[in-house]
Amino acid sequence: MTHTLQMENVNVGGFDLMPSPEDVKHRLPLTPAAARTVITGRETIERILDRKDPRMFVIVGPCSIHDPAAGLDYAGRLKRLAEDLADTFFLLMRIYFEKPRTATGWKGFINDPRMDDSFHIEEGMQKAREFLLRVAELGLPAATEALDPIAPQYLGDLISWTAIGARTSESQTHREMSSGLSTPVGFKNGTDGDIEAAVNAIRSASLPHSFLGINPQGRSAVVRTRGNRYGHIVLRGGAERPNYDTVSVSLVEQTLARAKLPLNIVVDCSHANSYKRPELQPLVMRDVVHQIRQGNRSIVGLMIESFIEAGNQPIPADLAQLRYGCSVTDACLDWATTERVLREARGPLHDALAARHGEPQSDPAAA
């Protein structure tokens, strides 16, 4: 008797078809109000990076979205704050649906929206798009991390700023993807604190690439990109130490200049820069404010992990026991503290940012 050897998909248990990006967008189309928010968000960040807008942009919000109701509650609060601080800060909501994992753990709202290891990815993708639409219709632009290279085809038209994480800045796949994204892209330094991978990623993403992906109809396609000139570095600390201090920032400026890249730096107040202790994030922010008041011209943005309640919580077996507005991934700053530190920073930063506006950046080619 002849046995047919299985030569492929040996460890695959099945294939569940996903609706195409086109199908999902047909169900949840981009509205005119949402489109205005997205375009304004992208253009404003580009103007800040080009030194045509003196303000700083601030990515602020939960480590991850797990409860859309609490997320929209937070978005409403942030929108009101954004209006109050608009002369100094351009605020975007951190809306992360995908979580990279070193080993195990909840992989985020898209992968497991029911938080029970059922992995209804098709449901997660549709609910993620619905959430982004509602936030955009509030007039609040969104920032996210691009982890899965297919997800931007489903959600990219609703995003104004994209991060490439510390674990993926060195990935060729993510550099290629970034070269075709429609948003400015922030590349984080590595988890070991190394900045070279992020700098190389900025250079790589600025160039055209061709790679395998999917088209809007969900078919395999060769994606050919033009390159993204709005890549920049995000300092998040690493190797058990921060890198937002004056000396670290100066060394990053020198590295960017040697690579002939614009001196654009975003400081992530969380992660290793605060030793993953959310209560230290305001201290990081105050240090950055001090640097700018002392003449720093390269720091153009901030990131803050913040939710309604402080800290974080494990995912319980009974989801009814979840605390409202509290992170299930990294610990966050609470809303009251977030609002206070941003309001406190507005006054000291307003004049300092205006003073540096219009001054030409150092020419990286001359370094």
Per-residue pLDDT of the chain (367 residues), as tens digits, is 556 688 999 999 999 999 999 999 999 999 999 999 999 999 999 999 999 999 999 999 999 999 999 999 999 999 999 999 999 999 999 999 997 765 568 999 999 999 999 999 999 999 999 999 999 999 999 999 999 999 999 999 999 999 999 999 999 999 999 999 999 999 999 999 999 999 999 999 999 999 999 999 999 999 999 999 999 999 999 988 999 999 999 999 999 999 999 999 999 999 999 999 999 999 999 999 999 999 999 999 999 999 999 999 999 999 999 999 999 999 999 999 999 999 999 999 999 999 988 554 544 444 4
CB-based contact 136:126 (threshold 8 Å): no
Per-residue pLDDT at 346:
97
Q: How far apart are CA 113 and CA 125, in angstroms?
A: 9
Nearest to 263 by CA among 237, 207, 301, 293: 301
Nearest to 41 by CA among 132, 121, 129: 132
Q: 231-235 and 299-305 as β-strands: parallel, antiparallel, unpaired? A: unpaired
Per-residue pLDDT at 295:
96
> What pTM, to 2 d.p., does this model score?
0.95
CB-based contact 328:64 (threshold 8 Å): yes
What CATH architecture is 21-366?
A: Alpha-Beta Barrel (3.20)
Per-residue pLDDT at 45:
98
Rg (CA), the chain: 21
Q: What's the pLDDT tens digit per position in 206-233?
A: 999 999 999 999 999 999 999 999 999 9
Per-residue tokens: 9? 């998909």
Q: How far apart are CA 93 and CA 58, in angstroms?
A: 8
Nearest to 151 by CA among 95, 228, 81, 234: 95
Per-residue pLDDT at 358:
58
Nearest to 281 by CA among 343, 353, 337: 337
Per-residue pLDDT at 103:
57
Q: 231-235 and 220-224 as β-strands: parallel, antiparallel, unpaired? A: unpaired
